[in-house]
Structure 1
Amino acid sequence: MECSSNDEKAPTRRDYVKYGGAVLTGGLLAGCTSEGEQATTEGTSTTTAASTEATAEDESYSVRMAPMGDVEFDSVPESVFTILNHHTDMVLALGRGNSVNALHGPGYIQSLYQKLTHHLDGVSIDWDGLYSSWPPSKEKLYELDSDVHLADPAKVATAEGWDEDALTEIERNVGPWFGNTLSGSHTAPPEGWADDYEYYPLWEIFGKVAQVFQETQRYEALASVRDSMLTHIEEHLPPEGERPSAALVLFSTSDDRIWGYKMNHPGYYAAHTRPLGATDALSAAVGPGYEDDGRNITLDYELLLEADPDVLLVLGPMSEYHNIDEIRTSLENHQVAGEITAVEEGRVYTQGARRQGPILNLFQTEMAAKQLYPDEFGAWPGYVDGEPYPDIPEEEQLFDRTRVADIVNGDI
């Protein structure tokens, strides 16, 4: 596939998109938002105004996203290289899961996503055994011969052996780079990339990926599902003074290390928790010897007890690499952790993963809403280790599984 990039500055959003000969109009979005604006933008999707242009005379089209600039395609990509699963999830949501030829930790990601696709009739994945793509091998990229590399070149540039020349070589000889990863937690770009970098909400990145595959209608349909869910959540949230405190954590599988993640920080890592407005118990949890980069914090049981969350949201147990029952038992039997309010009151719950795309975001938002606010959104039924995402009565579901499955399967 021929491709080229143009790094000249241009408006991040245009006021129209030519798609399949039809003009789809939508509101303009700023490419980089402030922290206050980020929460609003994540909570409300807007029709993707685009830089995708296709005509009957010229089937080539271009899509603009930082840090690549304008990326030109001469046809819709068929084989897709991914690294992080927010991009992989987007390909799946656009009905092209079978086109993925690489992702980081395929076994881990497949074990998680199969728990979700169980509830989406006609949607399945088979990623086990694919090339685990971080850090990527240039030789392997030649071998895969992908039509597009859905990966952030600024992130790839941090891997050993990947300089500007190597990135350009793959772009010219194999296929273009198209991805944005540092928006996950607004991480500072590496040296040489700062001038070209912009941070986007999760669903805006998804909208741009949809343009790459000329699937804007699918994107808009899924965004409408999410909008409806967020509207319902916003209308039923209890007053701020009545909301619980919570902490989002990941426990090491090899030692006593614990990582905490800021629930209301800008970035798509918090796209499922920020709209819920719970008090982040870790927002001020700092102390001597504890690493805190403003987004995440390395902590131990003493600091977790000091934060003392009412609810503990644990990342990982929906994959096959963590077990929520073992985690609960370990916490209950620990001299310090056993005194944490969430542990004492039995409010230690399963979460999926921070690096979320649209499918995981829908399920995780519903999951977290029920775990934090059972009186408002129905009780979380609990997750059984090794089983799919739990069955929830239709009247208590926060989004329509059938509608999502239909969209992914092409019935838009």
Structure 2
Amino acid sequence: MRRRRFLATTAAAGGLLAGCTGSDGGNNGSTAGAGDGTATSASDGTTGAGAATESGSTAAEATGSEATDGAGTTSGGSYSVTMPPVGTVSFDSVPETWVANNGSWADMGVALGKQPPKAVWLTERYHTQYYDDIPGVSVDKSGMQSLYSDGVSKELFYELDGDVHVIDPNFLLNRYKGWGQADVDEIESEIAPFFGNSIFSRGYDWHDDYPYLSLYEAFEKLAQVFQETERYEAFAKLHDDFQSNVSDVVPSGEKPAVAIMWAGSDEPDTFSPYLISPGTSFKQWRDLEVRDAFANTSVRDFHADRSEVDFETLLEVDPDVLLLRGHEDKTRKQFRNTVVSYLESNDTASALTAVENGDVYRGGPLYQGPITNLVLTERAARQVYGASAQLFDRQRVADIVTGSS
């Protein structure tokens, strides 16, 4: 018989799985090149309001029937953690195996010294090369499975048999066909609980009924689940120091206007535009205080209405910097030899200020956690401000992950 690792799930205020009215069949990967989890679409997290602080010292509310502080509750070996929308989840022991929604949560687990999740939504969008410069930290994805493959199989959850599913169940119910509340209830009853919040995007209407969490608020919640609050606190302190270093890089005066877009091929002629929003997907750009080139234009966010822009529209906006997503699997040199080379050779694109000045860069992935955010923010500071100094201590990160700090 399966050894249970949780006791009960109690709905939080506002209702468990608030806002779920059925799956959104219209967003099941029908848009090529840009979506939020399907094999053919790529929404990096876009519009929305209600920004939460990204400070590592600010925690999301953690409560429970026996809670005494923000670290989860413990009693006789059992403990509980509360997070919207799943409510209060009680565990009888620390989960050993787990399944994650995406690379944001997978990276949090790595930061907490845990083994990688058994599965993520799409393994190709969990970019583990960001760990290459962190001594002693690496992730082998060879045995990791993708939850999404032309749909989401309930049977795969049984096969994975994880001790906790770090997935917002509303994402399953509202973004993909074939899942209903009864399916979520079955997985929780027969396998393990769901414990997640869709944090990378602020563009989902169904998320309006419960709070979004910032990166470090979500990170703290997962640390409570894995009973690794000391590692979380060490990362929160490192992040506070990092933010100070980032602030020193940001110049005074007017900041560059950047256009963040999904480029679906090595020779793109149209792009899916993203407006910078409070979702964790844009954390590095908010922290670097860049201006959004699309903010005061007629360009609509892709996540809002699947909009596109072409070279003519870009010439009207003429951003200082082009940040193109969808190419994180390329090195800087590979990106320049393919995408940038094409733009430079295109009669229309070559007239863009960003192309003329050599300011076309990889725009970052959809998902980022505490480690990858450090790497991506430092890279972004080099891209838009020419920063040359390291902004965080790689060995300090490694020591936290390995427990040597």
- Interval of TM-score (by shorter of Structure 1 and Structure 2): 0.7 to 0.9
**Is contact 2:147–2:156 with CA below 8 Å preserved after alignment?**
no
Q: Is 1:132 matched up with 2:146?
A: yes
Aligned to 2:395: 402
Q: How does 1:243-392 map to 2 (within 5 A)?
A: 243-253=255-265, 256-263=269-276, 265-286=277-298, 292-293=302-303, 297-320=307-330, 323-374=335-386, 377-378=387-388
Question: 1:343 and 1:43, CA in 2 relative to 1: closer, same or farther beyond 3 A?
Answer: farther
Instruction: Give the distance between the partners of 1:224 and 1:64, measured in 2 at CA.
Output: 23
Aligned to 1:58: 76
Question: 1:42 and 1:92, CA in 2 relative to 1: closer, same or farther beyond 3 A?
Answer: same
Shift, 1:43, TM fit: 4.6
Question: 1:162 and 1:198, CA in 2 relative to 1: closer, same or farther beyond 3 A?
Answer: same
**Is contact 1:89–1:357 with CA below 8 Å preserved after alignment?**
yes
Question: 1:294 and 1:8, CA in 2 relative to 1: closer, same or farther beyond 3 A?
Answer: closer
Aligned to 2:96: 78
CA deviation profile, 1:375-396 (whole Å, cap 9, x unmatched): xx32xxxxxxxxxxxxxxxxx1
Q: Is 1:119 matched up with 2:112?
A: no
Q: How does 1:41-52 map to 2 (within 5 A)?
A: 41-43=53-55, 45-46=57-58, 50-51=62-63, 52=71
Q: Is 1:184 matched up with 2:196?
A: no
Shift, 1:323, TM fit: 3.3
Query: Percent identity among equivalent residues?
Result: 38
- Which is worse superposed, 314-323 or 125-134? 314-323
**Is contact 1:240–1:277 with CA below 8 Å preserved after alignment?**
no
Instruction: Give the distance between the partners of 1:68 and 1:82, measured in 2 at CA.
Output: 15
Shift, 1:142, TM fit: 0.9
Shift, 1:87, TM fit: 1.1
Instruction: Give the distance between the partners of 1:316 and 1:212, measured in 2 at CA.
Output: 32
Aligned to 2:36: none
Instruction: Give the distance between the partners of 1:332 and 1:53, measured in 2 at CA.
Output: 54
Instruction: Give the distance between the partners of 1:221 and 1:48, measured in 2 at CA.
Output: 17
Q: Is 1:238 matched up with 2:238?
A: no
Q: What CA RMSD, in Å, does the superposition of the two structures yield over aligned residues? A: 2.5
Instruction: Give the distance between the partners of 1:108 and 1:370, measured in 2 at CA.
Output: 23
Instruction: Give the distance between the partners of 1:297 and 1:239, measured in 2 at CA.
Output: 33
**Is contact 2:80–2:90 with CA below 8 Å preserved after alignment?**
yes
CA deviation profile, 1:44-66 (whole Å, cap 9, x unmatched): 532566334444x5211111111
Instruction: Give the distance between the partners of 1:280 and 1:91, measured in 2 at CA.
Output: 31
Instruction: Give the distance between the partners of 1:46 and 1:129, measured in 2 at CA.
Output: 35
Question: 1:48 and 1:163, CA in 2 relative to 1: closer, same or farther beyond 3 A?
Answer: closer
Instruction: Give the distance between the partners of 2:305 and 2:49, measured in 1 at CA.
Output: 12
**Is contact 1:82–1:133 with CA below 8 Å preserved after alignment?**
no
Instruction: Give the distance between the partners of 1:187 and 1:118, measured in 2 at CA.
Output: 32
CA deviation profile, 1:66-95 (whole Å, cap 9, x unmatched): 110111111111111112211111111111
Instruction: Give the distance between the partners of 2:250 and 2:229, measured in 1 at CA.
Output: 31
Aligned to 1:17: none
Instruction: Give the distance between the partners of 1:313 and 1:46, measured in 2 at CA.
Output: 30
Counterpart of 1:4 in structure 2: which amino acid?
A: A
- Which is worse superposed, 100-109 or 77-86? 100-109
Question: 1:237 and 1:170, CA in 2 relative to 1: closer, same or farther beyond 3 A?
Answer: same
Structure 1: gaps of 5 or more residues: 11-33, 379-395
Aligned to 1:9: 13
Shift, 1:35, TM fit: 4.5
**Is contact 1:47–1:220 with CA below 8 Å preserved after alignment?**
no
**Is contact 2:259–2:323 with CA below 8 Å preserved after alignment?**
yes
Instruction: Give the distance between the partners of 1:198 and 1:47, measured in 2 at CA.
Output: 13
RCO greater where, 1 or 2, for CA within 8 Å and sep 6 or more?
A: 2
**Is contact 1:43–1:275 with CA below 8 Å preserved after alignment?**
no
Aligned to 2:189: 172
Q: Secondary structure at the match of 2:146?
A: coil
Question: 1:37 and 1:187, CA in 2 relative to 1: closer, same or farther beyond 3 A?
Answer: closer
Would you identify which runs of 4 or more consecutive aligned residues in structure 1 move more than 6 Å? Answer: none
Counterpart of 2:128 in structure 1: which amino acid?
A: Y
- Which is worse superposed, 354-363 or 149-158? 354-363
Aligned to 1:387: none
**Is contact 2:173–2:179 with CA below 8 Å preserved after alignment?**
yes
Counterpart of 1:137 in structure 2: which amino acid?
A: S
Q: Secondary structure at the match of 1:343?
A: helix
**Is contact 1:106–1:128 with CA below 8 Å preserved after alignment?**
no
Instruction: Give the distance between the partners of 2:328 and 2:183, measured in 1 at CA.
Output: 37
Question: 1:167 and 1:324, CA in 2 relative to 1: closer, same or farther beyond 3 A?
Answer: farther
TM-score of the two chains, using structure 1 as the length reference: 0.79
- Which is worse superposed, 304-313 or 63-72? 304-313
Instruction: Give the distance between the partners of 2:391 and 2:87, measured in 1 at CA.
Output: 36
Q: Secondary structure at the match of 1:253?
A: coil
Instruction: Give the distance between the partners of 1:354 and 1:237, measured in 2 at CA.
Output: 23
